[in-house]
Amino acid sequence: MKPWIYKNNEFINEDVPGGAFGFIYLIEIKIDGEPKFYIGKKQFHANRKVKKGKKEVAAMSDKRGSKKKLVSKLNFEKYCSSNKEIQESVKNGIEPTRTILKICYSKMELTYQEVRYMFKLDVLEKDVYLNDNILGKFYKSKLKQKSDEETV
């Protein structure tokens, strides 16, 4: 898989700025010979709960405490979107171009910037974008297509 690109350079784990929460990305992929695009967001770190080992459990002073711990790891390097068409194309050997558009420093900023880019690029109105919805509230399939007379 091709590496992520940020400001025309490859972007790897060591390039993640301190305090960064996630990023807004653009994926470009050819589907049926036509270029298609997808705007999304990705957190740099994935947090999951895992069971503590036997030694950790034995060392616990309060036996009523949780037997699980929170583990955080960087997991963005191999990520390739949640979009089903992109995932299927990747399985079929088509490599996408993955570009980081903006690095964000909080969960709120990450969501805001994703929505901002989606509205700015009209992802629900242009067929070259694979995005189906924005925030689970605005759906491409439910939008009334504007005629040329109705455009602002």
Name the token pair of 138. 């605005």
Beta strands in 2-132 (DSSP E): 4-6, 9-11, 22-31, 34-43, 45-51, 68-74, 97-104
pLDDT tens-digit map of 104-113: 999 999 999 9
pLDDT at 151: 55
Bridge pairing between strands 68-74 and 45-51: antiparallel
Q: Three-state SS for 56?
A: helix
pLDDT tens-digit map of 56-78: 888 888 878 888 777 777 778 88
pLDDT at 146: 55
pLDDT at 148: 46
